[in-house]
Amino acid sequence: MTHRERVRVRVPPASSGRPDTRAAEVAEARPDLRVRIVGTSVADTFSHRARHRVRSGLARLGVDIVDDGVTEVAGGSVRLRSGTALDSDLTLWAVVSGVPDLAARSGLSVDPDGRALVDACLRSVDDDRIFAVGDCAAVPGARFACALATPQAAHAADTLVRVADGRRPEPFAVRYVGRAVTLGRRSAVGQFTRRDDTLRRAGVSGRTAAAIKELASRGGKYAARTGTGA
Ligand SMILES: Cc1cc2nc3c(=O)[nH]c(=O)nc-3n(C[C@H](O)[C@H](O)[C@H](O)COP(=O)(O)OP(=O)(O)OC[C@H]3O[C@@H](n4cnc5c(N)ncnc54)[C@H](O)[C@@H]3O)c2cc1C
Is it the case that residue 15 has pLDDT exceeding 70?
Answer: no
Residue 1 has pLDDT above 70, yes or no: no
Structural domain that includes position 198: 119-230
Q: Is the CB of 153 within 6 Å of ligand 1?
A: no
Tell me how far apart the alpha carbons of residues 92 and 207 are, in angstroms, rounded to a whole number.
26
Indicate the average pLDDT of the chain. Answer: 87
In a domain, 46, yes or no: yes
Q: At what angle do helices 206-226 and 146-164 cross, to 10 degrees?
A: 30
Distance 98 CA to ligand 1 centre (A): 10
Comparing 228 with 162, the larger pLDDT belongs to 162
Q: pLDDT at position 16, please?
A: 41
pLDDT at 150: 87
Residues 27, 88 within the same domain? yes
Cα 144 to ligand 1 centroid, rounded to whole Å = 8
pLDDT of residue 12: 40
- 105 located within any domain: no
Classify residue 137 by burial, with Cβ atoms within 10 Å: 0-12, 13-18, 19+.
Answer: buried
Using CA atoms, how far apart are residues 142 and 83, in angstroms rounded to an integer? 35
- Is the pLDDT confidence value at 156 over 50? yes
- Asked if 218 contacts 225 with a C-beta cutoff of 8 angstroms, the reply is no
Q: Is 147 in the pocket of ligand 1 (CB under 6 A)?
A: yes
Residue 3 confidence (pLDDT): 40
Residues 133 and 122 sit within 8 Å (Cβ to Cβ): yes
Residue among 20, 21, 106, 146 to mutate when testing ligand 1 (max atoms within 8 A of CB): 146
Our count of domains for the chain comes to 2
Identify the residue whose C-alpha is closest to ligand 1 atom 15.
Answer: 145
Which is it for strands 64-67 and 33-39: parallel, antiparallel or unpaired? parallel
**Size (the chain), residues:** 230
pLDDT tens-digit readout, 167-221? 999 999 988 889 999 999 899 999 999 999 999 999 999 999 999 988 988 887 8
* pLDDT higher than 60, residue 26: yes
CB 190 within 8 A of CB 205: yes
- 148 pLDDT band, cuts 50/70/90, is confident
Residue 64 in any domain: the answer is: yes
Q: Does residue 4 register a pLDDT over 70?
A: no
Q: Is 47 within a domain?
A: yes
Distances (CA, A) of 185 to 25, 82, 178, 182: 7, 33, 19, 7
63 with 127, same domain? Answer: no
CA distance 127 to 141: 22
CATH number of 45's domain: 3.50.50.60
Percentage of the chain surpassing pLDDT 90? 63
Is ligand 1 within 6 A of the CB of residue 120? no
Q: Identify the pLDDT of residue 208.
A: 94
Domain edge (last residue) among 31, 66, 97: 97
For residue 51, the model assigns a pLDDT of 95
Beta strands in the chain (DSSP E): 5-10, 33-39, 64-67, 70-74, 77-80, 85-87, 90-93, 116-117, 137-138, 178-182, 188-193, 199-205
Question: Mind listing the pLDDT tens digit for each residue in 30-88?
Answer: 999 999 999 888 999 999 999 999 999 999 999 999 999 999 999 889 999 999 999 99
Whole-angstrom distance, CA of residue 79 vs CA of residue 71: 6
User: Does 50 map to a domain?
Assistant: yes
Ligand 1 pocket test, pick from 105, 108, 135, 150 with the greatest ligand atom count within 8 Å of Cβ, gives 135
Q: Choose the weakest-confidence range: 115-119, 155-159, 184-188, 215-219.
A: 215-219
Angle at 201 between CA 198 and CA 203, to 5 degrees: 105
Q: In the predicted model, is pLDDT for residue 230 greater than 80?
A: no
In percent, the amount of the chain with pLDDT more than 70 equals 90
Q: What is the pLDDT of residue 201?
A: 93
What strands lie across the sheet with 77-80, from one edge to the other?
70-74, 77-80, 85-87
